[in-house]
Amino acid sequence: MTTRHAPSHSNNDVARSAYGDFNLATHVGDDLTHVQGNRHLLCDTLALPTSPIWLEQVHSNMIVKAETNSLNAKADASFSAEKNVVCVVMTADCLPVLICSADGQKIAAVHAGWRGLASGIITRSIDTLGTKDVVVWLGAAIGKHCFEVGDDVRDIFIEKSIDYGTAFQSSESKWLTDIYQLARVELAQLGIFNVHGGEFCTMSDENRFYSYRRDTNTGRMATLIWCT
């Protein structure tokens, strides 16, 4: 997963803008020259085998196969069972989820905002991979002390399962929400417990992360996975 800063060893002068050093999103109002420069730097720094299959994320539960034909597809997850195909999602508070089958042959990258989680995007992604023998990593997202939602959002999850109640803590007229716990509950219901990550807060860690809730006009980080 990237941060809001370009790799320290690079001379990325062309990529600097009002959106910080390392915005990778083309849809947030940043200069496209800056964004493309950052994307090239990302490929070079990580020595990616191919260009990432970028999506047009729409807070859905749609998942597509990562291939050239799905570039900029309206979806919030992509998967692959081929070598050297790079799945990627962008976030700035929502939860990036990486999934890999235990044999290392199948992968998925998931953009999981609360809407996607409520509509079962993680379950759909696991079903698409065709195995529950997976390793899951939860990237940086908004922390449980910063993510406030109303009764309407909590009710959606509680109607799905009372187990989701563990992700909500009452705070005056709102609910503080643990987006990591929302994901863990869904995974636990699938019998998946090999889950890692989930210890950061994008909103409170301004030095490292973009945050839409904190800044509104902001960039996006990228979270990537591929098989070699």
Instruction: Give the tens place of pLDDT for each residue, 170-228.
Output: 998 899 999 999 999 999 999 999 999 999 999 999 999 999 999 999 999 999 999 99
Whether residue 208 is contained in a domain is answered as yes
CA distance 228 to 222: 19
Whether residue 180 is contained in a domain is answered as no
Supply the pTM of this predicted model: 0.95
Whether residue 46 is contained in a domain is answered as yes
Report the number of distinct structural domains present in the chain. 1
Q: What is the per-residue pLDDT across 132-154, written as a single tens digit (0 to 9) for each?
A: 999 999 999 999 999 999 999 99
Whether residue 164 is contained in a domain is answered as no
> What CATH number corresponds to the domain at position 46?
3.60.140.10
Strand order in the sheet with 168-171: 148-149, 174-177, 168-171
The domain in which residue 108 lies consists of 13-142+200-225
Whether residue 80 is contained in a domain is answered as yes
Whether residue 167 is contained in a domain is answered as no
Whether residue 87 is contained in a domain is answered as yes
